[in-house]
Structure 1
């Protein structure tokens, strides 16, 4: 975690001289983060090196969210040629760790996350690409591209594609009036700010799509256990002003998108292990399989559940990956 050589020149141009540059925990991408400290001033330096990363989507969505009244980091400066962005420091008070230490706050904070999503869904959608069928399909294909080979499974790939094409149709039809979908809206990307607002991070992959997606991301969290009881309570809270018919339809779409997201994540976490040697992501697989199987229990996902039953034996699910890191 050594800052890029161009960092100090970039900071000097923004008036941040005589600074300490300290590493901050990163994520699963090529992006790196550093805390820049100059006297009483603090900021976060994002290092999103081209060609692996492009910081422009993050910058655009951050400004869009701030303009709509949400707590996204202010952008202090950018150097797109070197992939450097200086942005507001939201501190270290993250939702995940706070709830680990204060589980009694769980319901209150999760209600805040649902309130934020409700508010976001009332605003005009961001000017970003659509979460279309091609994107949904590309993501679930990560399962057959990475997880199946890693477990030495010869699966029915054409059948997998065909079933998803059918299963996803109700979601595509329902998102004809799309909302902004942050896509990684979960406890490790939410900062608890001093003014009692929720600070948003890691939204650079935002698309426009279905309102259920970010609910799935928060309530079927890949990295934190959310009880079935809390998930149900928060779903009811989100749907409290909808008719029975609207609620049933939304819950169906929620299950479809839950299955889509969790299938994708199993593929991504396997790739992070096999390709990038990041062993810790294997620890999340039992949770991901539990969540996926819960979504597959919805009656409208019966054809997909049958595919998994035919192709992925029960004794393979949640087991360590057979393959070794490259």
Structure 2
């Protein structure tokens, strides 16, 4: 029997144990006959199932150890909930085996419903939620987005995209240039004010729900640069927006953040430069991650969005002359085919 079928059998047995206790505690009556169907999967080893009985719907997370650990999810869910951010309530948990039973926040992500007409309203809600958890004190013992983590993330690009995916070995001069570029990006990130950072705050991880949005996939949260999440929100892995609109949304966030007492940069141009450089760090990391997912995990579909990240980087290179050395390195790489916005 395949390993994943063994996990599914264990998951069903766990549900048989915990659902009667949950239904009794919540006053929901007897546990009805229900279906368990795949809800979603992601780039990690986690899987999600929807338990459905009539109008009652729950989400079951399967996060197999040792590849995954549910504890950060539970911890950060509590933190975000304390800031009135709409996150799934943890209804039952087996942390040792990697099973969680959660509220179902809905069936449609922002990515599935957002368009040019409703984007302003949806992003306004997303910014309000972002500001809510950025107000949290930095006292919950989360990891910090330190130099070591930033550097490990950047190294994914030469290791997995340049070397493994493209088959290119950078020479000593190119490696030295890469190190200088990394130092520039890391120094910019470390110089920023710190807040709680979701690390993947994008439309795919936001659910259209009431209250809106429902926030998912927050288990990797850290304390780090204030521009990280808002840059991620508007320079998404799976859809792109006109640069003028992104600029207006960033200005809106910066104004709201200042009014809310979030420690953003004093001047908008300083904020925008920090956002640009933070975005480049993230884009390089994600290109490396997508290459790793392809070659290590056998999931090549993510590579189709790599051209989007190169476009984001090229837009920044055009207005940030301090990144000219990075531009020269990237110009020496073969270009992937461009995808539509």
The question of a shared fold, defined as TM-score above 0.5 by the shorter chain, is answered with yes
Which among 40, 46, 56 is matched to residue 71 of structure 2?
56
Residues 185, 281 of structure 2: 8 Å contact kept = no
Q: If the length of structure 2 is used for normalisation, what is the TM-score?
A: 0.85
CA drift at 1:277 = 2.3
Which among 139, 162, 166 is matched to residue 180 of structure 2?
162
Residues 137, 161 of structure 1: 8 Å contact kept = no
CA drift at 1:245 = 5.0
Residues 36, 43 of structure 1: 8 Å contact kept = yes
Alpha-carbon distance in structure 1 between the residues aligned to 2:188 and 2:333: 32
Counterpart position of 2:83? 68
| 2:301 is the alignment partner of 1:280 | yes
SS of 1:131's equivalent?
coil
| 2:26 is the alignment partner of 1:7 | no
Segments of structure 1 that go 5 or more residues without pairing to the other structure are: 321-326
Structure-to-structure mapping, 1:1-326, within 5 angstroms: 2=5, 4-16=8-20, 17=31, 18-100=33-115, 103-125=116-138, 126-149=140-163, 150-155=165-170, 156-175=174-193, 178-193=194-209, 195-240=210-255, 246-299=267-320, 302=322, 304-309=323-328, 311-313=329-331, 316-319=334-337
Question: What is the aligned-residue RMSD (CA, Å)?
Answer: 2.1
Alpha-carbon distance in structure 2 between the residues aligned to 1:191 and 1:90: 7
CA drift at 1:28 = 0.4
Residues 177, 325 of structure 2: 8 Å contact kept = no
Residues 198, 218 of structure 2: 8 Å contact kept = yes
Q: If the length of structure 1 is used for normalisation, what is the TM-score?
A: 0.89
| Offset from partner CA, 1:5-38 (integer Å, 9 cap, x none) | 2112321222255432111121000000000123
Runs of 4+ residues deviating >4 angstroms: 241-245
Alpha-carbon distance in structure 1 between the residues aligned to 2:179 and 2:155: 8
Alpha-carbon distance in structure 1 between the residues aligned to 2:200 and 2:284: 15
Segments of structure 2 that go 5 or more residues without pairing to the other structure are: 21-30, 259-263
Alpha-carbon distance in structure 2 between the residues aligned to 1:88 and 1:206: 20
Residues 186, 217 of structure 1: 8 Å contact kept = yes
Residues 99, 105 of structure 1: 8 Å contact kept = yes
